[in-house]
Structure 1
């Protein structure tokens, strides 16, 4: 069996030997569109994280039987065309939950304790010049007793809620935006924003959630609120967020995802220079342990397919 990994660089040099149990593995660090045809023409299995694959590519790979998406989202695959071509598609869900939870609270903790500002002060010699034993130039606040609003209450949102509760926060689960009913144990989306001290986003990007955090909804947040987005960039209107941060309409934000990735130089959050924004390059998912679980999941998917199973089958 010929297994082709199209964007191995997204796996951070991890050990791919579990895949070799099923055949010959050919890896490419990066693959652009014009390289796809020659690289997949003899493939039985394709492993792809973000490389776009569609009907044209399927016609160029007559031996292709299985596409293993090295992620949870499958928007890079034309699923309808794959179904028509008789090609199975799998993903891996849940592998990155501990990593994303950790990253969420790393961003939040840095912002609430102003670690990044104090670290910069130390590098600039401020502590050395202090008239007392410490520096207290930047406000430090606690997660305990804060109203912690979670937008998106799937497995990841629930895991974040558990950690927030361990910190002593009061967790509020926001109802879906524009929902006509509020389920038991939830609060209407706009009402939740109005009382939030912290908002953490964990919902998928859909037509209903695209830019749901915009100038109007950001204006509902109290001025002391902190927004964390480790979900998808398109959920937040980036220009509106940059303006809210600049105008001090929002205290701070921690962002790991942008609407276009890799980041573009003209993105409003890339251009923003204020120290009330922490921006990381879509690394919340990428702990070593997370990537190891991802590869193990891909191997399980291949094994299941070969044995007639349906593990993580999307189609």
Structure 2
């Protein structure tokens, strides 16, 4: 009987389908008993003698170095910065992921955080709870310039969601040339604009273009991050680069902790050099740092994937990858 350890938390909180799939195919499953994100050495000690691991964003380097038994890591999600891929390849450990299931939930959260930060929704909520009532003014997406850093699955969905708000511009920054995808989105945007003109609606026409990183920062009223954490993106947003942003701009990170230097962001927000930020991901989680002292930042609990349907799909696909791998079936191979 093959054994599977589940380190990710939560797992099967709202649906038992992933566990049922593994059990029905004869797998013995042990679930993270700690009720929180496991630390690297905890994962190593718990999972080193298992055949497969269903992992979240835990750092798996100590486990991969130590194990002589593990054959497959199946990531619940798409990011692979916590998996030492070269070492896995060297030790013959295969890696799978669930690249499509997470995109709808993360993209919707990113758009909601853009609105929240620009319109000061959470700030107003906190004021009421303190007995205050200033009715703060904010900015709209309609007529604004929205910058998207990273134009993969999630970045493209964010752009498509934004079309209905009729921003003035959507600026795309990506390592790859994205003219084909941009042309398709521009066609859809133009059709929406023409339809509303026919209905007598005097709404903005949206222009979509690809720009470099510096231009993205300088021109955007909101910047939303959708790139992986790599050596190149580590601390990409620091005191130097964030100084290029407009004073009224907002920064949204639903990608990975570490892309934004949290100490530099704290100082930028405290000095009001940018208007606001929304952070769903952090270098250390759970987050206990000084950003929580500020009123102009929204902090959420790495919950981009945490819609009931997307989480169920991710967990089921992670289980299907295990069944497919050991059963010579279909699975989403990385290594």
- TM-score (normalizing by structure 2): 0.79
Alpha-carbon distance between aligned partners in 2 of 1:109 and 1:215, rounded to the nearest angstrom: 24
Matched residue, 1:96: 102
Matched residue, 2:188: none
Residue 27 of structure 1, aligned match among 28, 31, 34: 31
Residue 146 of structure 2, aligned match among 148, 156, 181: 148
* Distance change (3 Å), C-alpha of 1:279 and 1:55: closer
Answer whether contact 1:40 1:46 (CA < 8 A) is retained: no
- TM-score (normalizing by structure 1): 0.83
Alpha-carbon distance between aligned partners in 2 of 1:125 and 1:80, rounded to the nearest angstrom: 55
Matched residue, 1:187: 211
Which protein, 1 or 2, shows the higher relative CO under an 8 Å CA cutoff with sep ≥ 6? Answer: 2
* Distance change (3 Å), C-alpha of 1:233 and 1:27: closer
Residue 165 of structure 1, aligned match among 146, 163, 166: 163
Offset at residue 156 of structure 1 (A) = 0.5
Deviations 1:128-151 (A, max 9, x none): xxxxxxx66300321111100100
Range 13-22 or range 189-198, more displaced:
13-22
Matched residue, 1:218: 242
Offset at residue 18 of structure 1 (A) = 2.0
Matched residue, 2:264: 240
Alpha-carbon distance between aligned partners in 1 of 2:236 and 2:82, rounded to the nearest angstrom: 23
Offset at residue 282 of structure 1 (A) = 1.0
Offset at residue 81 of structure 1 (A) = 3.9
Alpha-carbon distance between aligned partners in 1 of 2:103 and 2:46, rounded to the nearest angstrom: 35
Offset at residue 193 of structure 1 (A) = 1.3
* Distance change (3 Å), C-alpha of 1:310 and 1:223: same
Matched residue, 1:52: 60
The answer to whether structure 1 residue 256 and structure 2 residue 251 are counterparts is: no
* Distance change (3 Å), C-alpha of 1:212 and 1:40: closer
RMSD: 2.5
* Distance change (3 Å), C-alpha of 1:8 and 1:191: closer
Aligned residues: 295
Alpha-carbon distance between aligned partners in 1 of 2:291 and 2:244, rounded to the nearest angstrom: 20
Question: Structure 2: which 5+ runs fail to align?
Answer: 180-208
* SS of corresponding position for 2:160: helix
